[in-house]
């Protein structure tokens, strides 16, 4: 059973869930830290929703532990964006984490646990070498199949070769998906790739995992996207949402050329919506590899089995065609910042439904987003419907990210330490933070005197790698108001209330005891 | 605003959520893989709930990527336990992930999205060196404070020293928490530590992070716990649930000696329950470090500010006291398998409320569980209430885990390959799996002939580290029915439908082409 088949008539009394705002950053090789990208997307989505603060936040990231070395990421990013006191959870289902987080937020509103939920997803990978990124993404696969060196491209290639044998899908059909999606990406100012390509370029690109070539595969991208969900009526309603799953191992699947997980998700989403695929005007489809778009179009029910390839070659899925697919450029051209992707698809659907994407606008009132998690093991279908006559809050501004992160001044060996001050609550932070740790207000640069009073301290006898034992760490309240963490040579004689001088050596603060 | 303060009267129409079953594994240094531990806990909880299959699963693990090297863990563990086709998401909020997953499951039932939800959490860490585990757990802290070598024990020590200065909490009070919780753990057959300890042993144990000693700290543990939530009336009802958050950096907190996140969570949970702390008969509290139990008792409202230490020394929180705290032994003695912990606390509460923990039974009808995420940034309070007169499904059997995982026979260089067969759907898996990948049925050992037909294949030109390029990978349907992934020397001349012979060299399958 999936969510499409609840026992009894559970949905009858479920609260409607609406989309009050949506926004995203540019996708590509971005220099900003992930926390900044997610904060920019989140604040832009809140502005577009005309909301200052959500009741609850759901964060999607696939693997910040290994991409960035940061854990507890829900708290990390909520604090960074100024929402340290808003309840936050992180949801993860591999490459569909953004869609899964959207669903978790949907459940909070539908149950009445929350009234306004911010869902924000992002990933940053381009700072790592490609083989490392491939290895980390490949851990989504069955561990045993992975032990053979199977990566995501290898998985996709195994599926593709079977697809090409069974349905007569040829090289031109596979290549046309890329050509079409690059043509759409060229009209999207936020896309990773904004150049059109030709069939010949796809067919001449280097082989990655036979029969898949470079231009059949989506890029490695950074980016973030955010949605504001609400229980109040707005322009766009979530009409249906469905999840489907499948066995982790490819070798245990019933079919190689369709994904049971997408079929189950679509069936559940249409059951909740109360209508069928014939109502869909535009769709964002998970084309991490071009054959996945062809497979997904049939799995979702937008084309009959075996018909999506010819329809693609005939232009039915182009921007001007009968059923435009991936107007954003899809994963192939807009890019695939993992946990941002499921939300970026929904952002595009919201923008299409509210008529604010001029060069790629599709006439539509119902849109569908489909997301694939890992090797097709945890897939989602989300159906959105516009309600004409409602005022639209969703108005994207091109040229994201809209503001640059504050520059990070290196600390110097001086008695004044760089800091930042909240213009509202007066909290002082050293080193400076961009947003106030207590609420989402941009901090003002300032400096503080390098002296203060010990609030607490410890001597750590089993310090982590790279530190000598014993390691002396103190918390100090500076005269200027900031609370600092710092190192010292010794804590002997130190007490809470002791006065210490602080100096910065490079990036590191040190205290020295001045007596109590 | 927290969930304690919804706009309008949102909760009025919220569906009641009940607990139909609960169970957990032993906690300690365990040899079984995490997937086995979680499967054992999940199937035991389903049996205690008299349910064969949930509508939906929520998985809690804190960091399987780095503890185990596995991603896409929701699909991984659901497939392993035989629920490959049940919708599953993973929820993570650092050390409170179990409580957060419980909340996500609660939202699915309360909204009507699902009728029966399995929530299962687990962690496995003891196979890694302690400094590595500490480093990984320490990534929950503010990155800047971490750059000073601050670990979780250092964080706790900073808090403890401030606590000892402000409320007159002495060494004996801190030590008594450990003495009490070890005394309780000695009565819990599933606890990590089952020996009583004395005040002198605590005060004489080695210093870890001054002023915290070894016996003030919980152990590193493996284990798993599971709960079955349902929309049907059962013995135990979820009366209230609340989440609270706080700034990641200790230096940005308003107080060092109380956790805002716990206070907010408690306030929200009691608001939903519609009663106050005076109704609580027993509580499981997050005593990762003994001072946290004293702080949390006051933050939750079970003791007035400044009163918990003396009350502990006076025996008020012992098993025979006025308000028994941590009858399971708490994190200190039962153990702290990270993402399992929030659920293990709830399992203990369910067992207490249904009267099935003979040597540590407390007379109770309302129980509270409190969980801390990371450095007190993402905390949860859950309140459970028993409804007398309902039949109890929750009946734990001591001596978990109840069944041992199937032994893993190493593959040999033979023409018959070890495999397993599902007695119901006849699926054959090679190498053998314990549960059927398609449904939760235990597989029967068998063997299959080492020859079959190529279903798909690829040549990977950018293989992961440790593999030579080009890497040939094929999917083969064996004569005996299993589908295999295997390596080969070349794919030249190979086609879908080609016949290949399979041999196992050590753990690895290789194909050789027999012609088409």
Per-domain residue ranges of chain B: 18-129+215-386, 412-515
Measured between alpha carbons, how far is residue A352 from residues A12, A215, A343 in Å? Answer: 29, 26, 14
Closest chain A residue to B509, measured at CA: A148
| pLDDT (mean) for B492-502 | 87
Residues A245, B78: C-beta atoms closer than 8 Å: yes
CB-based contact (8 Å) between B135 and chain A? yes
DSSP B97-162: HHHHHHHHHHHHHHHTS-SEEEEEEEE--TTS-HHHHHHHHHTTS-HHHHTTT--HHHHHHHHHHH
Quote the mean pLDDT of chain B.
Answer: 89
Complex ipTM value: 0.85
Token readout for A41 is: 């997307």
CB B54 within 8 A of CB B118: yes
CA distance B420 to chain A (A): 12
The values of phi and psi at residue B371, to 5°, are -125, 140
Residues B482, A251: C-beta atoms closer than 8 Å: yes
Q: What is the pLDDT of residue A11?
A: 52
Topology annotation, domain B412-515: OB fold (Dihydrolipoamide Acetyltransferase, E2P) (2.40.50)
- Which residue among A110, A140, A210 sits closest to B458, beta carbon to beta carbon? A210
Class of domain B18-129+215-386: alpha beta
Chain B residues whose CB is inside 8 A of the A89 CB are 91-93, 100, 103-104, 243, 378
Chain B residues whose CB is inside 8 A of the A53 CB are 1
Angle at B6 between CA B4 and CA B8, to 5 degrees: 140
Chain A residues whose CB is inside 8 A of the B211 CB are 458
- Give the strand pairing for A18-24 and A236-245: antiparallel
CA distance B389 to chain A (A): 25
CB B245 within 8 A of CB A88: yes
Express each pLDDT in A329-342 by its tens digit: 999 999 999 999 99
CB-based contact (8 Å) between A220 and chain B? no
Q: How confident is the prediction along chain A (516 residues), in pLDDT tens digits per residue?
A: 334 444 444 455 689 999 999 999 999 999 999 999 999 999 999 999 999 999 999 999 999 999 999 999 999 999 999 999 999 999 999 999 999 999 999 999 999 999 999 999 999 999 999 989 999 999 999 998 888 888 899 999 999 998 998 767 999 999 999 999 999 999 999 999 999 999 999 999 999 998 999 999 999 999 999 999 999 999 999 999 999 999 999 988 888 899 999 999 999 999 999 999 999 999 999 999 999 999 999 999 999 999 999 999 999 999 999 999 999 999 999 999 999 999 999 999 999 999 989 899 999 999 999 999 999 999 999 999 998 644 333 333 333 332 223 332 222 333 678 888 989 888 888 888 888 887 888 889 988 888 888 888 888 887 777 788 888 888 888 877 888 888 888 888 888 888 888 888 766 888 887 765
CA distance B115 to chain A (A): 7
Enumerate residues 6+ apart whose C-beta is below 8 A from B200. none
Q: Could you count the other beta carbons within 10 Å of the beta carbon of residue B9?
A: 8
- Which residue among A63, A149, A264 sits closest to B463, beta carbon to beta carbon? A149
Residues B72, A208: C-beta atoms closer than 8 Å: no
Classify B184 as helix, strand or coil: helix
- Which residue among A91, A115, A461 sits closest to B90, beta carbon to beta carbon? A91
Measured between alpha carbons, how far is residue B332 from residues B71, B100, B217, B284, B286 in Å? Answer: 29, 21, 7, 11, 9
CB-based contact (8 Å) between B8 and chain A? yes
Could you say which residues from 61 to 90 on chain A have a Cβ atom under 8 Å away from some Cβ of chain B?
62-63, 65-66, 69-76, 78-80, 84-90
The values of phi and psi at residue B501, to 5°, are -95, 145
For residues B176 and B147, give the distance between their C-alpha atoms in angstroms, rounded to a whole number: 33
Express each pLDDT in B307-341 by its tens digit: 999 999 999 999 999 999 999 999 999 999 999 99
User: Matching CATH topology for B18-129+215-386 and B412-515?
Assistant: no
CA distance A360 to chain B (A): 34
Closest chain B residue to A432, measured at CA: B144
CA distance B179 to chain A (A): 23
For residues A116 and A404, give the distance between their C-alpha atoms in angstroms, rounded to a whole number: 27
Q: What is the pLDDT of residue B149?
A: 85
CA distance B89 to chain A (A): 6
CB-based contact (8 Å) between B482 and chain A? yes
CB B74 within 8 A of CB B107: no
The values of phi and psi at residue B184, to 5°, are -70, -45
The values of phi and psi at residue A8, to 5°, are 70, -165
Per-residue b/e over B307-320, b at no fewer than 16 CB within 10 Å? ebbbbbbeebbbbe
Closest chain B residue to A470, measured at CA: B209
For residues A485 and A432, give the distance between their C-alpha atoms in angstroms, rounded to a whole number: 13
């Amino acid at each position: 059973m999936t969510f499409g088949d609840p026992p009894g008539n559970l949905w009858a009394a479920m609260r409607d869930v609406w989309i009050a705002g949506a926004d995203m950053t540019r996708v590509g090789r971005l220099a900003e830290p992930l926390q900044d990208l997610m904060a920019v997307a989140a604040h832009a989505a809140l502005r577009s929703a005309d909301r200052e603060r959500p009741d609850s936040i759901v964060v999607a990231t696939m693997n910040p532990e290994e991409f960035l070395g940061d854990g507890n990421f829900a708290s990390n990013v909520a604090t960074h964006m100024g929402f340290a006191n808003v309840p936050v959870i992180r949801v993860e289902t591999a490459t569909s984490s953004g869609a899964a987080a959207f669903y978790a937020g949907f459940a909070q509103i539908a149950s009445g646990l929350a009234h306004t939920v911010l869902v924000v997803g992002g990933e940053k990978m381009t700072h790592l070498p490609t083989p490392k990124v491939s290895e980390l993404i490949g851990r989504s696969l069955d561990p045993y199949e992975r032990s053979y060196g199977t990566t995501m491209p290898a998985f996709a290639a195994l599926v593709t070769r079977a697809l090409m044998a069974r349905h007569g899908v040829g090289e031109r059909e596979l290549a046309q998906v890329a050509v079409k999606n690059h043509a759409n990406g060229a009209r999207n100012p936020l896309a990773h790739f904004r150049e059109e390509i030709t069939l010949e370029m796809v067919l001449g690109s280097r082989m990655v995992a036979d029969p898949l070539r470079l231009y059949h595969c989506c890029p490695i991208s950074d980016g973030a996207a955010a949605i504001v969900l609400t229980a109040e009526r707005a322009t766009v309603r979530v009409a249906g949402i469905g999840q489907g799953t499948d066995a982790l191992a490819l070798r245990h699947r019933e079919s190689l050329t369709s994904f049971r997980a997408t079929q189950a998700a679509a069936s559940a989403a249409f059951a909740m919506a109360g209508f069928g695929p014939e109502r869909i005007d535009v769709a964002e489809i998970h084309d991490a590899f071009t054959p996945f778009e062809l497979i997904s179009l049939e799995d979702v029910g937008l084309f009959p089995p075996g018909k999506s390839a010819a329809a693609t070659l005939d232009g039915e899925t182009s921007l001007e065609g009968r059923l435009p697919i991936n107007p954003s450029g899809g994963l192939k051209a807009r890019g695939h910042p993992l946990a941002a992707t499921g939300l970026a698809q929904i952002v595009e659907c919201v923008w299409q439904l509210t008529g604010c994407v001029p060069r790629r606008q599709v006439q539509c009132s119902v849109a569908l987003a489909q997301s694939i998690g890992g090797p097709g093991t945890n897939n989602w279908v989300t159906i959105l419907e516009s309600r004409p006559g409602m005022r639209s809050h969703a108005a994207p501004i091109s040229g994201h990210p809209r503001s640059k992160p504050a520059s990070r001044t290196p600390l110097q060996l001086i008695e004044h330490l760089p800091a930042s001050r909240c213009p509202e609550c007066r909290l002082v932070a050293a080193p400076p933070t961009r947003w106030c740790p207590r609420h989402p207000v941009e901090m003002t640069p300032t400096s503080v005197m390098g002296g203060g009073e010990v609030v607490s301290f410890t001597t750590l006898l089993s310090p982590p790698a790279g530190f000598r034992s014993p390691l002396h760490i103190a918390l100090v309240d500076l005269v200027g108001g900031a609370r600092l963490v710092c190192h010292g040579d010794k804590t002997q004689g130190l007490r809470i209330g002791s006065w210490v001088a602080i100096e910065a050596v490079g990036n590191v603060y040190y205290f020295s005891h001045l007596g109590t």
